[in-house]
């Protein structure tokens, strides 16, 4: 859990806010069960104090074969069975690294999920970009703003 997680949850809040019956669920695909306890502790100490009023559930789906796409699709199937004909909005976090090459390295999971979800009925995909460091444009704007001062 990091700043990008909190930003993604805040973006989800903005999408759901004011919609009757809307709910936010965070999904963790468990690749290593030993790390799940620590994740739950971080969730309770970092997320709940800031966003606990939103009643966000942390759903954990085990993936013993370390797959990512298949467990997500199965999870969405189970949601779809319970909430038939409801729109499911999937918010995918995408790291903006500032470099073309590192961008390719860090967002492969997001690309695979997007491809798998693209033609799925009742699913809308939203990308929440998380900037690891300020972009050149942002640095220039900040420098220009500081020089006015």
Q: How far apart are CA 30 and CA 73, in angstroms?
A: 14
Mean pLDDT of the chain: 84
Per-residue pLDDT of 59-75, as tens digits, reads: 999 998 989 999 999 99
| The pTM of the whole model exceeds 0.75 | yes
Question: Given this model, what pLDDT does residue 61 score?
Answer: 96
Rounded CA gap, 132 and 148, in Å? 27
Residue 134 CB neighbour total at 10 angstroms: 13
- What single string gives the DSSP state of each residue in 91-106? EEEEEE-SSHHHHHHH
Q: Distances from the Cα of 118 to the Cαs of 40, 135, 149, in angstroms?
A: 30, 29, 47
More confident residue, 132 or 109: 109
């Amino acid at each position: 859990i990091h700043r990008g997680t909190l930003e993604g949850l805040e973006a989800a809040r903005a999408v759901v806010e004011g919609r009757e019956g809307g709910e936010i669920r965070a999904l963790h695909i468990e690749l290593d069960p030993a790390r799940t306890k620590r994740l739950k502790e971080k969730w309770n100490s970092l997320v709940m104090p800031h966003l606990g009023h939103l009643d966000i559930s942390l759903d954990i789906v085990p993936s013993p074969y370390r797959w990512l796409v298949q467990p997500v699709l199965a999870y969405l199937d189970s949601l779809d069975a319970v909430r038939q004909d409801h729109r499911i909005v999937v918010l995918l976090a995408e790291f903006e690294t500032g470099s073309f090459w590192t961008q390719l390295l860090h967002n492969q999971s997001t690309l695979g999920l997007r491809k798998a979800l693209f033609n799925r009925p009742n699913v809308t995909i939203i990308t929440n970009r998380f900037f690891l460091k300020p972009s050149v444009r942002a640095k220039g704007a900040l420098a220009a703003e500081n020089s006015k001062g």
